[in-house]
Amino acid sequence: MKKIIVANWKSNPEKISTAISLARASDKKGAVIAPPHIYLDIVGKTLNNAFLGAQDVFWEKYGPYTGEVSLSQLKNGGVKYIIIGHSERRKYLNETDEMINKKVVAILEENMKVILCVGDTADVHKKGISAVKRHIEKQLKADLKNVSQKMSKNLYVAYEPIWAISTSKSNSLGKADTPEDAVRVISYIKNVVDKKIHGKNIKVLYGGSINIKNVKEFLFEDEINGLLVGGASLRPKEFSR
Ligand code: PGA
C-alpha cells in the first residue's frame, strides 16, 4: 500500500510569499499539503504533484456561520483531504467529539477524504498501553458515529500522541513515540474501526515529532500507512527529502 505524507502547516507561515515558496519546495507525489485556509487558493495553484489538504472545515455546505469555512467552499477550491479533530483544536477551541463527528460524517458524505486525529495525553500515556487503548477507542467510537462501511474508503485516522507533538527540532529527535509502540496502537485502531464499521482497509498514519532523523524507522513499518508532519513540514529541504 502506498504511503502518504501530510504536511500540516498549522498557523504558519506568516506571509503569503513564504507560503508560495514552501509549497513549491514541498510539491512531491504522495504528499498532501495542508496550509491555513487563507493560503489554500494560492497553494492549490502552485501544486502540480501534491494534493491539497485543509486543516478543518465547518460541517454545513454553506449558510449563516460567521467565521467558518464551508465544505462546498473547500471542495470547489480543490481540497481533497481534510484534517479533523487535531488535538490543538480540541484543546484551544474546545472542539468536542460531537462536533468532530458531524464534520467527519459531512466530509465522507461529500466523498472527500478525512484525516481524523486521535491521541492520548501525557497523563493517559503514563498509565500504560491499556489506558491508551481505552482512551483511543472512546474517541473513535464517538468520532465515527453513523459512519458506514461504504463511507470508510475515504477514511484515514492519524494516531498522534499529544505528548509527542511539536517536540522535535531539525537537529534533535524530540519526544516522538517509538515506532514499536506506535504500531501497537495503530493495529488496535485498525481493529476497533474494523469492529465498529467493518472498515477493513483503513489507513492509519502516525504523527508527532517526525523529522529527518526518525522518519525512516516509521515508514519502514508496514502497519503505518503514512505520516502527519507538523514542524518538519515548515523546513522545505527536510520535508522534500
Ligand atoms: P509535529 O506536529 O510534527 O510538529 O509534532 C504534528 C501534528 O501536530 O500534526
Tens digits of residue pLDDT in 115-144: 999 999 999 999 999 999 999 999 999 999
Strands 51-54 and 226-229: unpaired
Residue 240 and residue 237: Cα distance in Å, rounded? 5
pLDDT score for 181: 93
| Nearby residues of 163 by Cβ (< 8 Å), 6 or more positions away | 120, 121, 122, 125, 175, 208
Burial of 167 from C-beta contacts in 10 A (0-12 / 13-18 / 19+): middle
pLDDT score for 74: 98
> What average pLDDT does the segment 92-110 reach?
97
- Catalytic annotation, pick one of 88, 95, 137, 160: 160
Residue 8: pLDDT band (50, 70, 90) is very high
Question: Which ligand 1 atom lies nearest to the CA of residue 211?
Answer: 3
Give me 80's grid cell. 481533497
Residue 193 and residue 215: Cα distance in Å, rounded? 26
- Catalytic annotation, pick one of 86, 88, 125, 135: 86
Q: Considering only residues 173 and 184, tell me which one the structure prediction assigns the higher pLDDT.
A: 184
- The label of the residue with cell 501534491 reads 50
Share of the chain above pLDDT 90, in %: 91
For 51, the enclosing helix (H) or strand (E) is strand 51-54
- Angle at CA of residue 195, ends 85 and 145, nearest 5°: 40
pLDDT score for 17: 98
Residue 1: pLDDT band (50, 70, 90) is low
Q: Residue 204 in 3-state DSSP?
A: strand
